[in-house]
Structure 1
Amino acid sequence: MAHLWGQLLVLEQMEREEQENGIRVFRRMVRDTQNPFAISDAEFTRHFRFHKNAALEIIRDIEPHMVNNSYVSKIPKVLRILSALNFFATGSYQRSVGANLLSCCSQPVVSRNIQEVSTIIVRYLLKDWVHFPRNDRERNELKHRFMQRHRMPNIIGIVDGTHIAIKKPNENEHIYVNRKNYHSLNCQIICDSELRILSIVARWPGSTHDAFIWRSSRVGQAMRANYENGDTESRIMGDSGYPCLPWLLIPVPHPATPQEERYNNRFKSCRSTVERCIGVLKGRFRCLLKDRVLHYTPQKAAKIIMACTILHNMAVFYRVDDPAPMWDDIDREDLPVPRYIADLDIPYRRLGQQQRREYIVTNF
């Protein structure tokens, strides 16, 4: 059924755009180009990371916001969207993305498609698909799922950072060099127990420490404000690269009791969720892998990263099978909190350590 609807959608768009633009090239293009919806389900998912029904829903979400102008008017909107999805999925060089199934799209056209589609996804779909819990009901549901799956009470999310390689920027390039000596954006991801991403921050240069990004983020500031306003029962989990705060749990560095050992073991099991989330995100959208490198400015690269995050949540919603996780080496390392950050929150860090002890005594 999705195969039939996909072909009809392409043909309907072609006829409509023929009438709008007064041109007669579309049928020749589809004759010369294999219709992507005509291939097998497995091949379609391999090329675009979504099964056909999910892809049709995504196309329906994006297509109304697309415009026609001189450089894209000859390419049906469906193919423009699919060429961008194919790039996100494979991270291939743009010339090879434009080959085979999408041969009507030249390398420059594919590049423009990527920018067009990523901009639309971020501008129009972000709020619907990526959002931190906004009320007690949403927070309680997240806590319930973490408790059911990992037996960790009062957890609403897990935070971690991941580096996405980018080309050498023209300005301030030195601040984008990370500790592995390549240019990147350091992205903060918070996920739930189902690998759904609750928050993405994709604007900081690769030399920025995870703890600084957390402290500067809207979620970090909101968690602090919520705590100060009386919500003392909602917590985020992070690794030892983050400060221990009343609203941010981290492992015990040197466990001295059986309870602390049990806490650390369960903590490690639970925190592996965000590591898997990042691995699935990069395995699904391989343009985010270190060896693929986003050949765009930091601003355009950030938009692609955010678009992939939104699409990841859509894949979770549409129950697309998870790919094998893929990680970069830098994702597996934790760095201690820099002194200049640690000194900013000394009273809250002391309170955080005290409340972590109480959390352990009560629950482990």
Structure 2
Amino acid sequence: MAALQRVFQLRARQRERQRQRQRRPRSTLCTINAFIRQHQNPLDMLDDMAVIDRYRLPRGEIVQLLNVIGPQLMRATRRNFALSLDVQFLAALRYYATGSFLQVLGDGLGLSKPSVSRAVQAVTYALLPLAAEHIHFPASRQAMSDIQEYFLTHYHIPQVIGVIDGTLIPISTPSVDGHTYICHKGYPAINCQVTCDQKCLITDIVARWPGSTHDSYIFTNSSVGQEAQNSKGQWRLLSDSGYPLRPYQFTPVANPVSNSEAHFNEAHRVARSIVERTLGRWKLRFRAIHKSSGGLLFVPQKCCAVLTVTAM
């Protein structure tokens, strides 16, 4: 009898504990979820220099871009405590700036790897339509005259309004047509064509061709190539020997035999270093596209979008 009574007492205690768990206030559960999903805005804790160092953009630029693309980052969800717009945007900027693994970025921001991936994709495609407002070829006569005067004064080369070159951005091997992305250096990449002016500002970018595509083919099939061909010699571009010599495109003299040709090659080399510096600054500012980060680990379409957004 004593043993049976002991069993009844234990069962009664178990039922009482179950009833207590069921009576737990709903507000306590909401408070726990709010604590888990609540994230602090780094812009409220960092000074201006720290913001530029971590996100590569000034505080004012971040706020301005966030106001423009904010409505597109709103999550269509009925769940409470969804990721805020600030957290999504800063997570994407942090990825552009470091090129680190998404899991590592998520650990630093208190996010999961899928959340960081979704934030990077949402921000990238929200910024992509704005690229045309920031990356544009000089169209006015005054803008062209200023650039031509600079190259004529400093390098003694007439009618030049820009310097063009191609650069290889490493990516992961795509599952479809992966062999076409293997560049001449032996790794999968996107062959990105960049045109810049005398101030090292990117005025045109073509980021859509596999790494095996030749630079001259990209230029011929680009909008800037068509405009240069239709310019009728009113302006020209500087490029390396990987491009063909055209009336609208200056390349170095292959085998200089006179002092004037040697002087032209030297002036051409110094002037073309502008685009080399531009590419170097672009890749060092946004490490996601630098080879030291291991390359972009996305599908080619998303990689091209990241390239355009960082160039913007």
Question: Secondary structure at the residue paired with 2:291?
Answer: coil
| 1:186-216, Cα deviation, whole Å (9 max, x unpaired) | 0000001111101111110011111111111
Aligned length: 281
Shift of 1:270: 0.7
Tell me, yes or no, if the aligned pair for 1:118 and 1:307 is still in contact at 8 Å. Answer: yes
Q: Distance in 1 between matches of 2:147 and 2:116?
A: 39
Does 2:266 align with 1:265? yes
Alignment pair present for 1:234 and 2:240: no
Corresponding position of 1:120: 126
In structure 2, do the counterparts of structure 1 residues 24 and 48 end up closer, same or farther at CA, with 3 Å as the change threshold? farther
1:139 aligns with 2:144: yes
Distance 1:63 1:261, change over 3 A: same
**Structure 2 counterparts to residues 165-176 of structure 1, below 5 A:** 165-176=170-181
Task: State the TM-score, normalizing by the size of structure 1.
Answer: 0.72
Q: Distance in 2 between matches of 1:118 and 1:45?
A: 19
Q: Any conservation in 2 of the 1:26–1:75 contact (CA below 8 Å)?
A: no
Question: Residues 73 and 27 (structure 1 numbering): CA distance in 2 closer, same or farther, change over 3 Å?
Answer: closer
53-62 or 182-191, which moves further after superposition? Answer: 53-62
Per the alignment, in what secondary structure is the counterpart of residue 168 of structure 2?
Answer: strand
Aligned position for 1:339? none
Counterpart Cα distance in 2 of 1:53 and 1:72? 29
In 2, Cα distance between equivalents of 1:185 and 1:261: 34
Which residue pairs with 1:10 in the alignment?
Answer: none
Q: Return the match for 2:82 from 56, 74, 90.
A: 74
* Residue 3 (structure 2) aligns with: none
Match of 1:87 among 95, 99, 103: 95
Asked if the contact 2:43–2:59 (Cα under 8 Å) also holds between the matched residues in 1, the reply is: no
Q: Deviations over 1:297-334 (max 9, x none)?
A: 11111001111111xxxxxxxxxxxxxxxxxxxxxxxx
Corresponding residue of 2:298: 296
Measured in 1, the distance between the counterparts of 2:48 and 2:80 equals 28
Q: Is the 8 A contact 2:41 2:86 kept in 1?
A: no
Q: Describe the SS at the equivalent of 1:156.
A: strand
**Corresponding residue number in structure 2 for 1:163:** 168
Equivalent in the alignment of 2:224 = 219
Q: State the AA in 1 paired with 2:147.
A: L
Q: CA offsets per residue over residues 82-131 of structure 1, 9 Å max, x none?
A: 1100000000001111233x22x3211111111111111112x1121011
Q: Which moved more, 1:213-222 or 1:51-60?
A: 51-60
Gap change, CA 1:122 and 1:72, over 3 Å in 2: farther
Q: 1:262 to 1:289 in 2, by over 3 A?
A: same
State the Cα deviation string for residues 137-167 of structure 1 (Å, max 9, x = none): 3322322333355443211111100111111
The two structures, once aligned, show a CA RMSD in angstroms of: 2.3
Q: CA deviation at 1:251?
A: 0.7
Partner of residue 114, structure 2: 108
**Residue matched to 1:287:** 288
Larger Rg: 2
- Partner Cα distance (2:123, 2:80) in 1: 12
Residues in 1 aligned to 2:31 and 2:161: alpha-carbon distance in whole angstroms: 54
Change (3 A) 1:26 1:266: farther
Q: 1:32/1:83 Cα in 2 relative to 1: closer, same or farther (>3 Å)? A: closer
% identity of equivalent residues? 31
Runs of 4+ in 1 over 6 A off after TM superposition: 23-27
